[in-house]
Structure 1
Amino acid sequence: MHWKRTFAFIFSGQIFSILTSSMVQFSIIWHLTETTGSASVLMIAGLVGFLPQAILGPFIGVWLDRWNRKLTMIISDSMIAVTSLILGAYYLWGDPSLWVVYVVLFIRSVASSFHAPSFQAAVPLIAPEDQLTRVAGWQQMVFSASSILGPALGIAVYSATSLGTVLLLDVAGALIANVMLLMVKIHQPKPEVVQAPSFRQEFILGWRTFVSSKPIVFITIAMAGFSIVFMPLAMLFPLMTLEHFGRGGYSASVIEAVFGIGMILGGVLLSVLGSKWRDSTYMSVSLVIIGLTCLLSGVVGSGAFAAFAVLSFFMGAAAPLFNGPYMAMIQKAYEPETLGRVISLVSSMGMLSSPIGLALAGPVADRYGVQVWFFWSGIVVALIGIVVFLKFYGKAGEEQVQG
């Protein structure tokens, strides 16, 4: 089918960009972990990476529903490439101060706040509605494949050369992604449907559209609670490897790799099963599994690195079962003309929750140890999963999403 060929072009280009971005993300986190050993420094890096997306998110959607979504993706990816080029040059000439790293991470986050929702808002313009969950599975597989190779390649290039070289590779990845995007056509919603008389009216319309679907509002609140406790773990995984297990960069990349392998298998499972289960069922199962694996990671001994790797695998496998169906629910619930602003709103809610967790996790991990955060976050995430299951079990609530 034509829409499948379009996604083949898009994903084949995006995998290069996502792969090199994964290399950069892991290399920067490991560099900060290795050179500072401070959870607070890692949390600040996380904050400057999340805050722009959280603050800009509610407003970006209005512009996304006006602009050409393909062009928005190309421009934002190009901005990310420019920041990689600048920071890469800094590292090739010497070791920049932390504030330079923070500024570059901030700018990359601004660009990402446009790229991710514009891509998600473009998906329903290409794929049939009954294939959205399956497409979400494909997308998770692309991200998962990159998350496996990214850390391993990132630490290899970082160890053999420098962080600057890793950053320059990210520039090449963005260029490939943009060339592939230029080769596909994405139809835009009709301007007369998209545009409202003013920015303020469009923003209000986006908010009213979002709250019109009560199941989406409930799931988004649950997602926000999940983000508070789980998002800091993305920054704490390398610190767990370094501090608790006393291992180096390659061991940290192994954890990232097995997490990514799990994500690939989870994405395959989601794409195969498609819509055999309700989206809320996938999400509740995902949250319970993630919660249990986090809890167990919080109690493993310092000599049980292999056990931690196994837990990371199952944690990764569960992740696509939440992310994919959640986005599919949103894509099914709203018309394409308003989807950009709705996706930006829900994304910003998760992003606004993340800084709360990051601000708490840094001091807690520095004072009580990184395992404490793993343990208690696991309990909270599992409880959220149970609440989501009970909310939708035996009810027609989720079906109202599509009405």
Structure 2
Amino acid sequence: MRSFKNLRIIKDEIGVFLIVWFGQLISLIGSSLTSFALGVWVYQRTGSVTQFSLILLSAMLPSILISPVAGALVDRWNRRWCIILSDSGAGITTVAMALLLTTGNLEIWHIYLAVSLSSVCKAFQLPAYTASTSLLVPKEHLPRASGMVQSGEACAQLISPLLAGFLLGIVQLEGVILIDFATFLFALTTLLLVRFPDAKTAAVPVVNGKASLWREALEGWTYITVRPGLLALLIVFAINNFVFGLIEVLFPPLVLSFTSVTVLGTIQSLGGAGMLLGSVVMSIWGGPRTLIRGVFGFAFLSQLCILALGLRADAALFALAFFLFFFSLPFINGWCDAILLRKVAPDIQGRVFATINMICWSCIPVAYVVAGPLTERIFEPLMATNGLLAGSIGQIIGVGPGRGIGLLFITMEILAIGVTVAVYRYPRLRFVERELPDAI
């Protein structure tokens, strides 16, 4: 009798996760629609790449800066209400932009402010959403649940640019923003309809008789550093995010150096399709018995794909490599999340995931900053027709525009593969699933 009751509880909790996941999926697609449409709107009115880049920075920097404090507060608060309030805050900024746009008063700085406020909301929403997964899903199903979360990101990447471009021609930016707001309302409704299981509240550090939020915020970093296996796993996350940042900046000019915008769009769409397929496969399969082996197997595959991009300027090769690269990402990110959800105590998951988000997101703007100077001042001149390496490496990978980026990709991936192999040889990481007890 008890076994049937436990089975019903598990089924009910997975049902709650599916409802929350679907609501957040719809909201993510809406947010991606607005992000794409705002970028187009700003670029069309200013013609400035710098202005466009500042939107990307505004969407990322506030989350990075506030993540440690946000994670501490997420562990103090009810996670369901934390997601509700975060979604509501992002929805309010969306409405404010719609009103300004309708009245003809929307300025560029309004967009920077709104995107920054949404970024702050995301700093609370993401660790609360991730940490809630361990409350709603039995630990044996966490890899599949992580795969479903990854599939939401893949759907947004694949659908939103195409859909936003179509909607901009029909309903204009005002209509896209209103659709985004409708997706926020849908996500909010799904959260109001469900209840989360009670979670143990984190103990609050006390200094001189007063609660210390800052010390509590640092506990996420402390929790990771005293567990070397988790720290090494964080290094894997950071490497992959840095690589992704470089690709985001340098892949379009690399492709456009030898082919058309249409081919670039096709290749990027194939990347989104690869990510979606990988997420679906992971959601169905769940993963191998030892997840960490799968993480490094797919990390190695993704690095070989980027290495291949540097070998020759060939659209078919790029399409295959880009597809496989994005196919591998859900397995790397999803299985890392599943390991952390199993090994990190639920009452501190908000702080741990916020710390991981802060460090890994920080790698992306670093990649943005170094990509241009490395390419324009070092690698492209080396691979020019009369460049220093034209007679040696240039005989293998070619010379001219774009070949410097290709050499940068090859150099970067040789280093990344070396670091990945070295990290995997570290026993604390290789046996992290066996040595660290499950916390749930």
Please identify, of 171-180 and 4-13, the stretch whose mean Cα deviation from structure 2 is larger.
Answer: 4-13
From 416, 420, 440, give the equivalent of 1:385: 420
- 2:239 counterpart of 1:217: no
Letter of the structure 2 residue corresponding to residue 346 of structure 1: I
State how far apart, in whole Å, the 1-side matches of 2:139 and 2:62 are. Answer: 31
Letter of the structure 1 residue corresponding to residue 365 of structure 2: P
From 359, 365, 369, give the equivalent of 1:355: 365
Q: Residues 46 and 187 from structure 1, CA distance in 2 versus in 1: closer, same or farther, beyond 3 angstroms?
A: same
State how far apart, in whole Å, the 2-side matches of 1:330 and 1:148 are. Answer: 27
Please identify, of 30-39 and 393-402, the stretch whose mean Cα deviation from structure 2 is larger.
Answer: 30-39
1:126-145 map, 5 Å: 126-145=136-155
- 2:285 counterpart of 1:273: yes
State the identity %. 24
Please identify, of 220-229 and 390-399, the stretch whose mean Cα deviation from structure 2 is larger.
Answer: 390-399
Letter of the structure 1 residue corresponding to residue 192 of structure 2: L
User: What is the Cα deviation at residue 244 of structure 1?
Assistant: 5.5
- 2:78 counterpart of 1:78: no
- 2:297 counterpart of 1:285: yes
Q: Please give the per-residue CA displacement for 1:350-403, whole angstroms capped at 9, x wherever unaligned.
A: 122222112112444566477456555444444443334333599534422335
In structure 2, the partner of 1:402 is 437
Q: Please give the per-residue CA displacement for 1:330-369, whole angstroms capped at 9, x wherever unaligned.
A: 1111111111111111111112222211211244456647
- 2:261 counterpart of 1:261: no
Stretches of 4+ aligned residues off by more than 6 angstroms: 33-38
User: What is the Cα deviation at residue 218 of structure 1?
Assistant: 1.0
Q: Residues 308 and 10 from structure 1, CA distance in 2 versus in 1: closer, same or farther, beyond 3 angstroms?
A: same
In structure 2, the partner of 1:322 is 332
State how far apart, in whole Å, the 1-side matches of 2:39 and 2:346 are. Answer: 36
State how far apart, in whole Å, the 1-side matches of 2:190 and 2:36 are. Answer: 25
1:3-402 map, 5 Å: 3-29=13-39, 40-90=50-100, 98-191=108-201, 193-197=202-206, 198=211, 199-234=213-248, 245-247=259-261, 254-301=266-313, 304-364=314-374, 368=380, 371-372=405-406, 374-391=409-426, 395-402=430-437
Letter of the structure 2 residue corresponding to residue 269 of structure 1: V
SS in 1 for 2:436: helix
State how far apart, in whole Å, the 2-side matches of 1:38 and 1:365 are. Answer: 20
State how far apart, in whole Å, the 2-side matches of 1:162 and 1:244 are. Answer: 33
State how far apart, in whole Å, the 2-side matches of 1:153 and 1:4 are. Answer: 30
User: What is the Cα deviation at residue 27 of structure 1?
Assistant: 3.5
Q: Residues 223 and 159 from structure 1, CA distance in 2 versus in 1: closer, same or farther, beyond 3 angstroms?
A: same
Please identify, of 140-149 and 339-348, the stretch whose mean Cα deviation from structure 2 is larger.
Answer: 140-149
User: What is the Cα deviation at residue 149 of structure 1?
Assistant: 1.5
Q: Please give the per-residue CA displacement for 1:278-319, whole angstroms capped at 9, x wherever unaligned.
A: 222222122222222223334553xx4454333221111000
SS in 1 for 2:294: helix
State how far apart, in whole Å, the 2-side matches of 1:245 and 1:88 are. Answer: 38
Q: Residues 317 and 356 from structure 1, CA distance in 2 versus in 1: closer, same or farther, beyond 3 angstroms?
A: same
Please identify, of 333-342 and 352-361, the stretch whose mean Cα deviation from structure 2 is larger.
Answer: 352-361
Q: Residues 241 and 172 from structure 1, CA distance in 2 versus in 1: closer, same or farther, beyond 3 angstroms?
A: farther
Which 5+ residue runs of structure 1 have no aligned equivalent? none
Q: Please give the per-residue CA displacement for 1:16-38, whole angstroms capped at 9, x wherever unaligned.
A: 11111222333344556677776
Q: Residues 260 and 70 from structure 1, CA distance in 2 versus in 1: closer, same or farther, beyond 3 angstroms?
A: same
Q: TM-score, normalised by structure 1?
A: 0.86
Decide whether the 8 Å contact of 2:229 with 2:428 is kept in 1.
no
State how far apart, in whole Å, the 2-side matches of 1:33 and 1:102 are. Answer: 13
User: What is the Cα deviation at residue 10 of structure 1?
Assistant: 1.1
State how far apart, in whole Å, the 2-side matches of 1:318 and 1:222 are. Answer: 14
Letter of the structure 1 residue corresponding to residue 224 of structure 2: F
Q: Give 1 or 2 for the bigger CA radius of gyration.
A: 2
